[in-house]
Amino acid sequence: MQLRSLQRLLPPACLLGAVSASAGAADDAALRPWPAKQATPPLRLTALDGKAWDLSQLRGKVVVVNFWASWCGPCVDELPVLNALARQAPDQVAVVGVNYKEPLDSIERFSSAHPFAYPLLRDRSGEMFKQWTAGVMPTTILIDRQGRARWRSVGEIPAGDTRLKAAIAALAAE
């Protein structure tokens, strides 16, 4: 499909993620260190059940935070990878999905058709997306056991990824 055709079908944030993912290695995530001068922002949101959620609750575990939306094709395509990560070592690694600005009923409908093996949070205003990402969807952040952001993956995580998994294993071993 040509870029012009994609531009008509996908929102800009999702398009950029799709283009950058296809430009990288086919088997690995585009993993970059978290910017050294950028502090880890707080992550306090609401779960789908309305309960307050805070990243600090997961101290002691490696946390994989994935920013996604149901209308983002690469976000949907990487769901099996994230579900597998969530099931792999739940005592050491926690996966959390942060939905970007969608209504609750849309998220619930989507998650009924596409089951998640990890909790979903709502970023109703898009403020967390602005603080945590470079404006590209999907974006996945790896957070160490002390609650510090260490790595960022921009674009879809491919099914055959080894780089992201190796980074998670290294953080879990620290």
Residues 106 and 90: their CA atoms lie apart, in Å, by 27
pLDDT on residue 28: 73
Residue 155 lies inside a defined structural domain of this protein: no
Query: Over its length of 174 residues, how does the chain's per-residue pLDDT go in tens digits?
Result: 333 333 333 444 443 343 333 444 457 778 999 999 999 999 999 999 999 999 999 999 999 999 999 999 999 999 999 999 999 999 999 999 999 999 999 999 999 999 999 999 999 999 999 999 999 999 999 999 999 999 999 999 999 999 999 999 999 999
Residue 134 lies inside a defined structural domain of this protein: yes
pLDDT on residue 26: 54
Q: Is the pTM of this model over 0.75?
A: yes
Number of domains comprising the chain: 1
Report the CATH number that the domain containing residue 33 is assigned in CATH: 3.40.30.10
Residue 52 lies inside a defined structural domain of this protein: yes
Residues 99 and 118: their CA atoms lie apart, in Å, by 13
Residue 59 lies inside a defined structural domain of this protein: yes
Residue 157 lies inside a defined structural domain of this protein: no
pLDDT on residue 30: 85
Question: For residue 5, which phi and psi values (nearest 5 degrees)?
Answer: -65, -40
96: nearest Cα among 76, 121, 77, 128: 121
Range of the domain at 97: 10-37+46-147
The two structure tokens encoding residue 146? 């002390």
Peptide bond into 138 cis (omega under 30): yes
Q: How many CB atoms lie within 10 A of CB 22?
A: 11
Outline where DSSP puts E strands in 37-124. Answer: 44-47, 52-54, 62-68, 93-100, 120-123
In the numeric block, the tokens 């969807």 are attached to 137
